[in-house]
Amino acid sequence: MYGIQIDKNSIFTITRQLYDQLRNLILNNELKAGTKIPSSRNLSKELKISRIIVVEVYEQLIAEGFLNPRKGAGTFVADGAFLQNNKKDPVRSTSQAINTNKSSTNCFAEISFKIGIPDLSLFPVNKWIKVLKDVYQFAHLSHFGYTNPGGIAELKIKLAEYLLRSKGIRCYPEQVIILAGSSQCILTAAKLVADYSEKIIVEDPSYKKVYELLTSNQLKITPVPVDHQGIQISKIPENKKQLSMIITPSHHFPLGSILPIQRRIKLIEIVRNNQGYIIENDYDSEFKYTGQTVQALQTLDPDRVLHIGTFSETLFPSIRLGYLIVPVNLIAKCSTIVIKNELAVPSLNQLALAIFIEEGHLEKHINQMKKHYLKKRELLYSLLTDTFDNNIEILGDPTGLFLTVSFLNVEWNDKAINKLKEYQVNVDTVANHTIIKGKHKDKLILGFGSLSFKQIEEGINQLKKAVKDILAERV
C-alpha cells in the first residue's frame, strides 16, 4: 500500500520505518491533502505489522499536523503538509570517513621540526588517568552541572599558588581566568585592552598565529622591530595615548632573547604614562635550562600587566587549558568578555589539573621533561655546530622547545625551503613570522620537543645535504 515497505531486518524500528515513509509520502504530495487514509486495522493487516504500531504512528502524525482525524469519518491527510522540492532522502552517506586528523603518509619519512609540540610519549598518562578517575568518582555533583565561566575556584587557587612558586607571580585566585588554550587567552586579553588602546603593539617578528588572530578580529596592530635583546623600546611610537602591547619577554619568539630589566622597566613606564597595558605571553618559560625561571614581567606591575600561560607544552596541547592573569580592576570586564563569547572549559578537566598540581605531579613532570629536553637541545646544538661550523649562529637563551639558527651563507627563500622539502625536512623560518617582510631571511626555527634523538640526527643530516645543494646551485 502506497509503496510502503517494512524491513524487519532494518536498524530502524518498524514504528520508525512506517512513520518516516508516511511522513515522506505526505511531504512529497504522493499522499495528497484530503486523502482518506486506511484504518489502522486495515493498514496493519496489509503490512503484516502490529495494529498498536499503526495507531501509535497515526497519533504522532496527528500531533505533528500531518493527519486530521474527523470524528466518525476516519483520518485524512491535512492541508499544508506538502513541501515543494522536498529533498527526497538526500543521499548523504556517513560512511565516507574523513581523515583531516590523520597525518599524511609522507610523515613516516619526513622529519618535521615542529614548533610548540611537547614529547607526547612521555606524558605520565597513568597518573593523569588516576586523578581523572578520582575526580569523576568523588567530585561534588555540582561539578557536573553548569560551572563558572572563566574557571572553577579550585583550579584558580591551585594555579595562583603554583604561579607564585614557579614565576614569582602574586595574585588573588579571582585574577586567574581559565580558558581553552593560550590563543583564547590572547584573544580575550587583546579584546580587553583594545578598549584602552587604539592599536596594539606587537613584536616583529612574532608568532604569526598571534598577530593574524588579532587582525582577523579587527584589532589594529603596530609592529615594532626586535633586536638580539627583544623589543626595541626606541622604535615604539611616542605620544600615543593608551598604548598597549603584546610581548614575549621571558623568551622571545622566535629570536629567543630574555628581555633585559632595563627594557622591562621602560615598558612599564610607557604603559603607566599612557594608561595602557602589557600582555605578557609566556608560552614556555617553564623549560629554562639554566638558572631560575625568569620572574614574570607581571611582577613589576600587576596593575598594568596581563600574564598568559598555557599547559599545551607542560601537559599536552589537546587538553586545551590556558590561563590569563588580569589586573584586579579588569576582572569584571574580563568576565563579561568570557560570557559574551560563551567561552567554556570542561570543569572536570580543570578539577583534575587542580589535583595534579596539588599532588606535585605537574612540577615533577616539568622537572623530568626539562632534563629530557635539555638533552635533546644539547644534541641539536652540537650537531648544528659540528655540521655547520662558523657558518651559523645559534640565537637566544637556552629555554623552551625550539632553537633559532642564523645561517651566514643561506637565504631561506621559497627555493631553499623547497629544497628542504625534497630532503624530507620540514622547518619553519623566522621570515614566515615577520610582519614587515624583507628581514630575517637567514634564520630557521628548529622545534625539537616532539622529535626523538634519532630523528634530530637524521633531520640535521638531511638539512646538511639540502644546504650543500642550495650552496652548490647558487654558484
For residues 197-226, which are near a copy of itself according to CB under 8 A?
213, 216-217
The angle formed by the CA atoms of residues 329, 331 and 336, to the nearest 5 degrees, is 125
Q: Which three cell numbers stand for residue 158?
A: 591551585
Q: In 10 A of CB 350, how many CB atoms?
A: 23
For a copy of itself, the binding residue among 48, 63, 371, 438 (CB under 8 A) is 63
Closer residue to a copy of itself, CB minimum distance, 433 or 440: 433
Closer residue to a copy of itself, CB minimum distance, 303 or 473: 303
Q: Which of residues 305-334 bind a copy of itself (CB under 8 A)?
A: 312, 316-320
Cα 330 from Cα 333, distance rounded (Å): 5
Task: Collapse the DSSP code of 369 into the 3-class scheme (helix H, G, I; strand E, B; otherwise coil) and give the result.
Answer: helix
Applying CB under 8 A, the site for a copy of itself has a residue count of 118
Residue 223 pairs in a beta bridge with: 202
Phi and psi torsions of 430, nearest 5°: -65, -35
**Any contact of residue 301 with a copy of itself (CB under 8 A)?**
yes
DSSP code for 237: P
For a copy of itself, the binding residue among 21, 29, 35, 341 (CB under 8 A) is 341
**Any contact of residue 236 with a copy of itself (CB under 8 A)?**
no
Q: Which of residues 238-277 bind a copy of itself (CB under 8 A)?
A: 258, 260-263, 265-266, 268-269
Cβ 473 to a copy of itself shortest distance, Å = 34
End-to-end alpha carbon distance in the chain: 83
DSSP code for 33: T
Closer residue to a copy of itself, CB minimum distance, 171 or 444: 171
Closer residue to a copy of itself, CB minimum distance, 87 or 241: 87
Cα 73 from Cα 75, distance rounded (Å): 7
Residue 323 pairs in a beta bridge with: 178, 309
For a copy of itself, the binding residue among 90, 105, 389, 414 (CB under 8 A) is 90
Residue 136 pairs in a beta bridge with: none
**Any contact of residue 104 with a copy of itself (CB under 8 A)?**
no
**Any contact of residue 19 with a copy of itself (CB under 8 A)?**
yes
Q: Which of residues 448-467 bind a copy of itself (CB under 8 A)?
A: 450
**Any contact of residue 143 with a copy of itself (CB under 8 A)?**
yes
Q: Which amino acid is at 265?
A: I
**Any contact of residue 180 with a copy of itself (CB under 8 A)?**
yes
Residue ranges in 123-178 assigned as alpha helix (H): 125-138, 153-167
Q: Which amino acid is at 192?
A: L
The contact mask relative to a copy of itself for 344-383 (x = CB under 8 A, - = no) is: xxxxxx----------------------------------
For a copy of itself, the binding residue among 103, 273, 382, 409 (CB under 8 A) is 103
Which residues 6+ apart lie within 8 Å of 107 measured at CB? Answer: none
Cβ 378 to a copy of itself shortest distance, Å = 19
For a copy of itself, the binding residue among 9, 94, 105, 239 (CB under 8 A) is 94
Closer residue to a copy of itself, CB minimum distance, 73 or 141: 141
Cα 241 from Cα 239, distance rounded (Å): 6
Cell numbers 595534579 correspond to: 356
For a copy of itself, the binding residue among 343, 395, 425, 470 (CB under 8 A) is 343
Which residues 6+ apart lie within 8 Å of 272 measured at CB? Answer: 301, 304
Cβ 474 to a copy of itself shortest distance, Å = 36
**Maximum Cα interatomic distance, the chain, rounded to a whole number of Å:** 100
Closer residue to a copy of itself, CB minimum distance, 104 or 239: 104
**Any contact of residue 52 with a copy of itself (CB under 8 A)?**
no
**Any contact of residue 82 with a copy of itself (CB under 8 A)?**
yes
Cβ 334 to a copy of itself shortest distance, Å = 14
Taking alpha carbons only, the member of 318, 402, 399, 376 closest to residue 116 is: 402
Phi and psi torsions of 80, nearest 5°: 70, 20
The contact mask relative to a copy of itself for 395-434 (x = CB under 8 A, - = no) is: --x-------------------------------------
**Any contact of residue 66 with a copy of itself (CB under 8 A)?**
yes
Q: Which three cell numbers stand for residue 475?
A: 654558484
Cβ 182 to a copy of itself shortest distance, Å = 9
Closer residue to a copy of itself, CB minimum distance, 24 or 461: 24
Cα 204 from Cα 262, distance rounded (Å): 20
**Any contact of residue 187 with a copy of itself (CB under 8 A)?**
yes
Cα 43 from Cα 49, distance rounded (Å): 8
